[in-house]
Amino acid sequence: MKFYFPDSQDQVSPSYDFLNDEYSPFRVRQRDDRYAHQVVTPIPYKGILVSKAIVDGSEKGTGKYNTPQRERLYRFGVREFFRLPEGMDSLGDCGAFNYIDEKIPPYSVEEVLDFYEGCQFDEGVSIDHVIFGYQPEATESDADPAWVERRRISLKLAEDFLAGIEARKSKVKPLGAAQGWSPASYADSVAQLQDMGYKRIALGGMVPLKSHEIIACLDKIGEVRHDGTELHLLGITRIGSMEEFSKRGVSSFDSTSAFRQAFMDERNNYHTAERPYTAVRVPQVDGNPTLKKQILAGAVSQSAAIKAERDCLHALRAYGKEQLDLAEAMAALETYLTLVDEKKWDKYHKNYKETLADRPWKHCSCLLCKDLGIEIVIFRGTERNKRRGFHNMTVLEAKMSELDFA
């Protein structure tokens, strides 16, 4: 089972100063910053996925690449731009979630092929239009007409995409995108894509589905899937179901879930093989809107807040080095965080105590945890948070390696 990591310019600076929370004045992001495959061992994914919407923008506006970054990607190609190691694959798609509210996709087949070929991707997914709805018993005659139209558009664009690949004699390996609202509609999409000539098919729109619903779709697809046709799950990570997915023809998937949970999840921020932990939130005084409002209103002294923040970080680092006991570390944490937001302290302090008491970073063999120590579980700024996300992907990789995909 091959895991592709969807990139969104997620890098970390190796020269970042954690004690002073400062970047080096000589840092050049594209030259100096590192991707996950450059900072953790083993590399936690087998390929990267890059969306046209992220690079070139969509109807919602500009993408996450500035003009110089975009030009470098097209000039050097995806392999050199991302410094991909030997054997790592690259997959391009359109980023359908970015134009989900549009009636039709904002890109032409020619534009998408220009993107895939210009950036020198190994593989590319046909243009699709996401169907966000699931009615397992609905036929085409009683399903939402908008869903029926989106599936029709996706299949027509897949047909045109394959024709474009053949006309250009492109080296990009095509994946046909299948959309549906039920097991039967997904199966019919796969059958039509196979008839067009696709050997690799990406199943889209399944992110909201429960695992048993995905399996129901895969079972129905299995009735029409040819021997040798491989399936890719777009945006899906379900470790507990991966073996079942594999038995039903799934050979690859992509997801940012493990990475994004590091800073987007309410509590499950730091992953281990046994369980997730809550990262300890220590916001910066000048970066926390709630605290800034209190300071401006005169309710909190800025100098007192800065001192409490410094004392809190000093106590956590001393605890990490076993120079301070848990009660003292928690006391310093409470002093600062009740100043920031007392309600949040009441909400999370038991989770923080559990994280600190268990010291999960001490039991992790990944290079990031060995290098950063307690800093990896401190929820504070992009450099710590992205590194924790990279750590989470190493846990995902380890779990995947233990599964039986025979």
Catalytic site residue from 10, 33, 188, 254: 254
Pairing of the two strands 2-6 and 250-254: parallel
Residue 93 known to be catalytic: yes
Catalytic site residue from 89, 93, 128, 188: 93
d(CA 161, CA 163): 5
d(CA 145, CA 122): 35
Counting every residue written for the chain, the total comes to: 406
Dihedral sign (CA 43, 46, 52, 58): negative
Residue 254 known to be catalytic: yes
Amino acid making up residue 22 = E
294 touches 300 (CB < 8 A): yes
Q: Which residues does the annotation mark as catalytic?
A: 93, 254
